[in-house]
Amino acid sequence: MTSPSRIIALEEHFWIPATRAYYSLEGVRALERVSHGLLGDVGAARIKRMDDAGIDLQVLSHVTPGAQGFDRETAVRFAREANDWLGEIVKSHPRRFAGFATLPTQDPPVAADELERTVRDYGFRGALINGHTNGHYLDEPPWWGLFERAQALDVPIYIHPADLPRAVLNSYFQDYPGLAKAAWGWAIDTGTYLLRLMCSGLFDAYPKAQVIVGHMGELIPFHLKRIHRGVSLMGNTRMKRTIAEYLRDNVSVTTSGVFEHASLACALATLGSDRLLLSVDDSFEDNVAGVAFLKSAPLSLADREKLAHGNAERLLNV
């Protein structure tokens, strides 16, 4: 197995100590169970786990649902608290950690200002948004200013899964809750989220805006040809380019939690090697397994370096 010269992982999660005061007891217990109780560790123990796997830098983001599930006032307070806490962590370990901002998307202008504050004051590399905001997606015009600000700051926005809107959960998954989250529901919701951004014309209005999605593209690379044909036949979108062109120019995809060579080959064939970035999904997935996947992937040396660190360095300026 070939070892890259540097390894950056950029969908890696934490939570602030005050999370228990914001989330439900049921939600806290569920997150502790599936993360092996490691979300609160953003210090020496996490760095040791990174060292054991060979990871040089993690880009940290607050665990789902972040600020997206709250009312406006709570979301604004929570986002600022989370960002200030993470900012101090990044200052303490600048060579090992970088940050994605938590944003109170319930108030789009405040969210844009918070993005700018965290980039200016803490050097954050963008923002991560956990799913819909009380049933709303960022393709709607009130949120376009956030992408305008991100474009001006030259930072990406990571769209990460969260629990689906209640109506969708009830319709699709009421009898099959095991499918509602990582198994299927999160991927179709986040993939739809990204397609909505494209179809809305957002990337025509802000052609340099950059979005990241995880989990090897949230099913879109596998289904791209059929998506393109279906959209072309319907002809009822506001976009001026094709889905494939938006993927090439405005979207990056991470490997988070999908350590399969067949899925990687599909993503490579669809997006090209300049649009793929390494992620583990720590603390829900294993760092060692993620790096072993990277080292064993059937890639050229140049493409392995791009996946391991080169594309992240270019996109995030790290």
**H helices, E strands: number in the chain:** 15, 8
Phi, psi of 37 (to 5 degrees): 70, 20
Contact (CB, 8 A) for 235 and 281:
no
The two three-digit tokens of residue 98, written as one number? 């970088």
Q: In angstroms, what CA-CA distances link 8 with 66, 169, 294, 301, 308?
A: 23, 34, 11, 16, 6
The yes-or-no answer on residue 84 being catalytic is no
CA 133, distance to chain mean position in Å, is 15
d(CA 308, CA 300): 12
- Closest-CA residue to 212 (of 313, 128, 110): 128
The b-or-e profile of 278-314 (16+ CB within 10 A means b, else e) is bbbbbbbbbbeebbebbbebebeeebbbbbbbbbbbe
Out of 189, 281, 282, 303, the active site residue is 281
293/258 Cα distance (integer angstroms): 9
Per the listing, tokens 């956990």 go with 130
Q: How many other β-carbons are positioned within 10 Å of the β-carbon of residue 38?
A: 16
Catalytic residues: 281
